[in-house]
Amino acid sequence: MKTFINAFRFMADNPHLLLTKTGEHLELSGAALGIALVLALPIGLWLGHLHRGLFVAASVSNVGRALPSLVLIAFGLTILGVGFWNNTAALVVLAIPPILTNAYFAIDTVDRDAVEAARGMGMTGRQVLLQVELPLGLPFVLAGIRIAAIFVIATATIAAVAGGGGLGQIIVNQASYGLSGVVAASLWVSALAFLAAFILSVIRRAASPRPVPLP
């Protein structure tokens, strides 16, 4: 209990430090999530639309979960060196699997009757994807983005070992910030992850189709 009390005292005494490191943490996490979305989302949506690539989606998901984050960062050191982009690349690899897999299954499992009705109306494949399949599968797509965001925010704490900065720089440096600083930074990381999950859950709920009341 005393440790938690000291952690809150650390927060009160070092707001500028925590806010600065939070900004670095969000910058790193946001960059990784944004790149992962650009790379994985279109591929997942298109493969789901074609109903092909299940093996690819499953393989990417399994490989992404099996690779340890520290190994990815260490491997990135040999290519990108120490710093922001090395850690971003490692986090992108972690974020891609849930985004790609959920995007694939979101589109692949859309009601076939709705798709066939759209095609019967003369819609092109692209129109079917964007105007029918994507709106119906959007909640599942957002669920994958939420999982990826939580993974990235939580894992970004180890970026400090390779010069990535962020709240992890406090967590791994107990000698300078003390146990209270480590606990305080850990609580802030948890709060960021919960906040991201809450915001994306609200967006997902808003995007979910609502049943039409019977007259």
Mean pLDDT of the region 70-77: 61
Q: What is the Cα Rg of the chain in Å?
A: 21
Evaluate whether residue 212 is within a structural domain. Answer: no
Q: pLDDT tens-digit profile of 101-127?
A: 999 999 998 888 888 888 888 888 888
pLDDT at site 19: 92
72 CB-near residues (< 8 Å, 6+ apart): 89, 90, 93, 94
pLDDT at site 73: 63
Supply the range of the domain harboring residue 47. 2-207
Confidence bin at 59 (pLDDT 50/70/90): confident
Evaluate whether residue 107 is within a structural domain. Answer: yes
Whichever domain contains 35, its CATH number is 1.10.3720.10
Evaluate whether residue 213 is within a structural domain. Answer: no
**What is the total count of domains within the chain?**
1
Confidence bin at 214 (pLDDT 50/70/90): very low
* Amino acid identity at 1: M
209: left (phi over 0), alpha (psi -120 to 50) or beta: beta
92-to-89, 95, 97, 136, 214 alpha-carbon distances in Å? 5, 5, 9, 26, 45
Evaluate whether residue 96 is within a structural domain. Answer: yes
Q: Report the distance separating Cα 213 and Cα 215, nearest Å.
A: 6
Q: Report the distance separating Cα 76 and Cα 43, nearest Å.
A: 24
Q: What is the pTM of this model?
A: 0.84
- Is the per-residue pLDDT at 83 higher than 60? yes
- Is the per-residue pLDDT at 211 higher than 80? no
Cα 83 from chain centroid (whole Å): 20
Q: Report the distance separating Cα 164 and Cα 169, nearest Å.
A: 8
Evaluate whether residue 68 is within a structural domain. Answer: yes
pLDDT at site 192: 92
Q: pLDDT tens-digit profile of 137-159?
A: 999 999 999 999 998 998 888 87
pLDDT at site 210: 59
